[in-house]
Structure 1
Amino acid sequence: MTRDKFSFKNIPGWVYTLAIFGVLYATGLHTEVLGGVQRLMLATGLKNADIPTAIEPATPATLTATTEPMAGAGFQMTDLEGKVVAFESLKGKVVFLNIWATWCPPCIAEMPNIQRLYEKVGSDKIAFVMLSVDQKGMDKVKKFISKKGFTFPVYMPASQMPEEFSSPAIPTTYIISPEGKIVAQQNGMAEYDTPEVIEFLQKLAK
């Protein structure tokens, strides 16, 4: 009776794949790897953000006439220094609100292009709110942001999430006009560092 000699060539490919994903999951690197793959997808331009093709820029008259509460009225946030910020304090500005989490690969995939957008539109009339919904505390979020070198404003909920910002999935992004109205919503990851989005935000802010 002869024994078959062991050979790695006889191991099915799916076993290797399973083993690799097992190691990535055990080390916590799976989120980064998946995020990297999805970032490449964004680079193709197939997932550019959807924005309205026509807008009505805010004017002092329309801002004064607007008496309805802002989307997210009453919502409280905490920045990474522990300061509580009222979402309503941003009324009068264009708000780019992105809901994300450190464990979400699509969130990680789109964050570099949001950082580039933040750097390009730099304006005191446009507020970025990167709202983390992580449940494991602020320290994890601070470490993640520091490691990545992101400089956009990051917050965490300090009160119940408003119904207007409820979404079946993350990331979800909302663009809110100076009058406090949601004028664009993107469910899922997207490429925001585009001429179209930059122009849209700047026109809203005029």
Structure 2
Amino acid sequence: MRKQKFSIYEIPGWAVMLAIFGVLYLTGLHTEAIGQVQRVLLATGIKNADVPESLRNPDATAVVDAAAMANSEMAGAGLKMVDMQGKQVRFESLKGKVVFLNIWATWCPPCIAEMPNIQKLYEKVGSDKIAFVLLSVDEGGVDKVKKFIDRKGYTFPVYMPASQFPQEFHSNAIPTTFIIAPDGKIVAKQEGMADYNTPEVVAFLQRLASE
């Protein structure tokens, strides 16, 4: 009786996919793999960040009164953050600037997918009037997040919360991005991943910073 030879081509496709995902999961690379797939989705342009209509039209944007700005409370006031060098920073110290706040985590594939475009946006709109805050909600301390950022080569400012999370920054999704005007008010909110490296977002940030 002849032995039947085993062929790899006889393995069902679902079993191969399950094995591949199992290996990725065990090695911790599944987050990166999913993030890469979602990055391809961002490249299609169907997930571009929304820009509020009132801020696309210069005539519809009111000039912020300096005295009113000084007296208004900033969104997120009271939040303490720690940067990747362990230095504590108060969120309200950024008042008077445009703040691009992105809430993310290293275990979040959509966060990983949108980060290269956030890096490009950061490099493109470099200004002392625009502050970037990439706020990680990872557990396990600064070292884990710093290793991830260093490995990726990102240069935007990264922080972790060092106090209770403000109610106004709570969201049902991660990542979530807020844009805060110099007067401290939230003027845009995007839940879920998006491409922020667009002419519309660049113009939006620059216009807010120039007022």
Q: TM-score range by the shorter chain?
A: over 0.9
Report how far residue 68 of structure 1 moved. 2.6
Q: Deviations over 1:155-182 (max 9, x none)?
A: 0000011000001111000000000000
What letter matches 2:86 in structure 1? G
Partner in structure 2 of residue 159 of structure 1: 163
State percent identity of aligned pairs. Answer: 70
Amino acid aligned to 1:105: P
TM-score by length of 2: 0.93
Aligned residues: 204
Which amino acid is the alignment partner of residue 153 of structure 1? P
Aligned partner of 1:35 in structure 2 is: 35
Counterpart residue number, 1:84: 88
Structure 2: state its 5+ residue gaps: 56-60
Distance in 1 separating the partners of 2:9 and 2:207: 60
- Distance in 1 between residues matched to 2:204 and 2:62, nearest whole Å: 10
> Deviations 1:37-56 (Å, cap 9, x if unpaired)?
11111000000001112232
3-state SS of 1:161 partner: coil
Gap change, CA 1:107 and 1:8, over 3 Å in 2: same
TM-score, normalised to structure 1, is: 0.95
Question: In structure 2, the residue corresponding to 1:95 is in which secondary structure?
Answer: strand
For residues 73-105 of structure 1, what are the alpha-carbon distances to aligned partners after superposition, in whole Å with 9 as ceiling and x for unaligned? 111000111111000001100000000001111
- Secondary structure at the residue paired with 1:54? helix
Equivalence for 1:141: 145
In structure 1, the partner of 2:127 is: 123
8 Å CA contact retained: 1:57, 1:205: no
Aligned residue among 177, 184, 196 for 2:200: 196
| Further displaced range: 46-55 or 116-125 | 46-55
Question: What stretches of structure 1 of length at least 5 have no aligned partner?
Answer: none
| Structure 1 runs, 4 residues or longer, greater than 3 Å off | 1-5
**What does 1:52-71 correspond to in 2, within 5 Å?**
52-55=52-55, 56=61, 58-59=63-64, 62-66=65-69, 67-71=71-75
> In 2, are the aligned partners of 1:75 and 1:88 still within 8 Å (CA)?
yes
1:13 aligns with 2:16: no
Change (3 A) 1:58 1:82: farther
Distance apart, 1:3 and its partner CA: 5.9
- Cα 1:69–1:168, aligned 2, differ >3 Å: closer, same or farther? same
Question: Quick one: which amino acid aligns to residue 92 of structure 2?
Answer: E
- What is the alpha-carbon root mean square deviation over aligned residues? 1.3
Q: Which of residues 188, 191, 196 in structure 2 aligns to 1:187?
A: 191
Task: Pick which of 5-14 and 193-202 moved more.
Answer: 5-14
Q: CA deviation at 1:10?
A: 2.2
